[in-house]
Amino acid sequence: MKKFEQTTLSDGTLTARGPFQVDPGTEVKHLHFLVAQAGELVEGEAFVSGDEWSGRAPAGDLQPGPAHGQGLAIMLSSGSPPALETFTWLDPIDVSG
């Protein structure tokens, strides 16, 4: 499962995280996230550790409250031949702060 589980504002930084599970033999090459709220768009790079992704980005003008989060992962799956896979997700979220 891939989704936004928590988004938090603190000292001008947005921190986002959520669960991220991949099949054995699959490597996450790139992971990016976006948070949109009332015309403001914040984007950041994220990383996978264990069964969770997390990332940070400058918060811009985001405020605590409802928003939309979107994630994009590019993964390399081992096999013959190896293959690149993309996965996106979109969640309604509540930015806390």
Question: pLDDT tens digit string along 17-71?
Answer: 999 988 888 999 999 999 999 999 999 999 999 999 999 999 999 999 999 999 9
| Structural domain includes residue 86 | yes
Distance CA 8, CA 80 (A): 41
More confident residue, 82 or 58: 58
Cβ(51)–Cβ(20) under 8 Å?
yes
Three-class SS state of 25: coil
* Domains of the chain: total: 1
| Structural domain includes residue 82 | yes
Residues in the chain: 97
Q: What is each CA distance from 7 to 22, 32, 69, 81, 82, in whole angstroms?
A: 22, 14, 9, 37, 34
Three-class SS state of 97: coil
pLDDT-derived band at 1 (thresholds 50, 70, 90) equals low
Range of the domain at 86: 6-96
| Structural domain includes residue 1 | no
Q: Write out the E strands in the chain.
A: 6-10, 13-19, 26-37, 40-49, 52-58, 65-77, 83-96
CATH of the domain at 15: 2.60.40.1930
The whole-model pTM stands at: 0.90
pLDDT-derived band at 2 (thresholds 50, 70, 90) equals low
